[in-house]
Structure 1
């Protein structure tokens, strides 16, 4: 039995600035009724709600996206593009008939206004500025005091740019996105004042952060019960797995930077797997409750996928393998040689993206929380900067998770062209933040109905 009470913000601390936040425990009062005295399970404090926004650039192929054989909200067949979500179908809401109307009220170039409006719901002003903070920033401002990190922005492209970022500050700029898993690991489990180079050297020598907090864990043990010890042990084992994964990446001899492209360009799959583990741990540890995850930017650029056999080599006309270029030809299955087509290559890229998202959602579902799974208390909002070829109608929005009971997944919901501002309001309310509008005032009509 636990012999004391510990704070929900308690952490294991050790040498060299090591800090590990703890998952929610019974000793933190998770079994207590609102009055604070130990009580029945029905009275325990609810786990925190979390928000994750994900973004895949360059839209989708409408003919391959929407469910078919629709009998009712819950009876429908998954489309070819949505097939990767078969294992988490009951955790997903497919949304149709939602427009990105705010993106059409200001400055436009086909892509940038879409990514900037996605979480802001704002029209885009001169010099590519928005009129309000993005939803993740707003939620972090409202909820961030309860966690060590108010929010975490991750991406396969670093820094901040109005072309591909989801996180934006009112009137300009936004937080930088972290690219390297080691940097994210340092943010989550290292003292913010610790020299990042020193943390890298510790991990390179395989000196585990867990070993450095062992004495603090021993001091904590008398205060927690058997169930809590099992939760902490499972949590620490997950952290060790991440350490070993990252460690294997950094112990290799440094390659010649000019001879090897960055890992994000060479193969995003292991990068995404590492980010998935870190996102799950960040939520499970309650280090942050707000995360955004982007891939590459939408629009023109050299976005190739060599691990799918779609590299720049062999494509001198910049026409049938580059992600943005072929997104405009999602219906063109004309053979361009070697069995390739523009539409076929575009669908292969989209399918890879959606497979990674499905793995992330599955990992959140598999991660235990104080009650149920992490996904049970999370709202995952997925979107793109347009539906297809710059169109802002029938946006490919997906919702995953139950947000603590606010959402009822496993459904296909169709609307009549409502602005996505209502979706942002619904997500904001699901996170426990009140309000009946978000973003451009002229487009607000309360929260999107029917999600609960």
Structure 2
């Protein structure tokens, strides 16, 4: 059970991938596993890592902990939290934009031309040197880029129309259709980023601790944080489970996308490790043990899969993270508050 009831939500995100000990009155947690991985496998890609989120930055932190602990799950060093981008447009430009500066990107927007057009000549030149099977793969890749570009434009146009309507009400607490569209678009962008080897390492934060967001599409219209305090009443617990089921259906979408994307002698899922979970086990009691964690993917033959591993009570999450680093070829004796390694 959490020993710092007032700060369990404020600091748990910073602990999730670091196994660190966030300090009050400053900004200090621990380097996260994604950043150690990026140092090892991300140095020869355009972006060593990319950090994504669905919700906007929150200033509702408190309990003496800085907001940096609350708003990101990625830390480059123990004192350098990485901002998480929640704009698909910004992510798209970061991944595929042909302008290296803000001014260049703005100039491209004024020209109203597609990012796809800016790489067409290079792509055509490359296609001419490839066998037909590879040419078809590149065509599919470019089609995916154009489709995502179209979807982003649709979302932006919709937002612009809403702004111009004087009758637009205040933004609702939860917009489940937008949430699902947002998450799937981010996962599509991640798939393209992996496919193009623009990056090999990514983190995405679907929801923050204390999030008031509601997800009517899940069947539960209550806010996420309120639903997590279920008072051990079965009906409340069942309702909270609906939100968790809805969230993990987003993961299923991503996994399916990876499994259908060719990569070398297999697919992207074969060559990936996808970690999904929560920094809280029982929100009603602010309990962190045991954490609900799913690890998916073949890890290029490194992961056994098809198993349910039950660890002894109070096994640190960092034991799993240390084991994942091992599979990536990052060998070290400890990580965060680890006490050993898991057989994964």
Range class of TM-score, shorter chain: 0.7 to 0.9
Provide Cα deviations, 1:102-122, integer angstroms capped at 9, x if missing partner.
Answer: x86x89722233221111011
Structure with higher RCO (Cα < 8 A, 6+ apart): 1
Shift of residue 181 of structure 1? 0.9
Provide Cα deviations, 1:99-154, integer angstroms capped at 9, x if missing partner.
Answer: xx9x86x8972223322111101122233644531111222233322100111111
- The question of 1:193 aligning with 2:101 is answered yes
Residues 153 and 175, structure 1, Cα contact 8 Å, conserved in 2: yes
Q: 1:293 to 1:263 in 2, by over 3 A?
A: farther
- Consecutive unaligned residues of structure 2, counting only runs of 5 or more, are 58-66
Per residue, is there more helix in 1 or in 2? 2
Q: 1:368 to 1:303 in 2, by over 3 A?
A: same
Q: TM-score, normalised by structure 2?
A: 0.85
Describe how 1:385-424 pairs up with structure 2 within 5 A: 385-389=279-283, 390-417=286-313, 418-424=315-321
Q: 1:127 to 1:114 in 2, by over 3 A?
A: same
Residues 376 and 402, structure 1, Cα contact 8 Å, conserved in 2: yes
Matching residue of 2:30: 132
Residues 273 and 295, structure 2, Cα contact 8 Å, conserved in 1: yes
Q: TM-score, normalised by structure 1?
A: 0.66
Residues 377 and 403, structure 1, Cα contact 8 Å, conserved in 2: yes
Give secondary structure in 2 for the equivalent of 1:292. Answer: strand
Structure 1 stretches (4+) deviating beyond 6 angstroms? none
CA distance in 2, matches of 1:182, 1:244: 11
**What number of residue pairs does the alignment pair up?**
325
Matching residue of 1:433: 330
Matching residue of 1:298: 209
Give secondary structure in 1 for the equivalent of 2:20. Answer: coil
For the aligned residue pairs, the C-alpha RMSD in angstroms reads 2.7
Select the structure of larger CA radius of gyration. Answer: 1
Shift of residue 424 of structure 1? 0.7
Describe how 1:24-423 pairs up with structure 2 within 5 A: 109-127=7-25, 129-159=27-57, 161-191=68-98, 192-195=100-103, 196-200=105-109, 205=112, 207-252=113-158, 253-256=160-163, 259=168, 265-266=174-175, 267-299=178-210, 301-308=211-218, 321-329=222-230, 331-333=232-234, 342-389=236-283, 390-417=286-313, 418-423=315-320
Provide Cα deviations, 1:386-429, integer angstroms capped at 9, x if missing partner.
Answer: 11131121210110001111111111112213222211111112
Shift of residue 217 of structure 1? 2.1
Give secondary structure in 2 for the equivalent of 1:393. Answer: coil
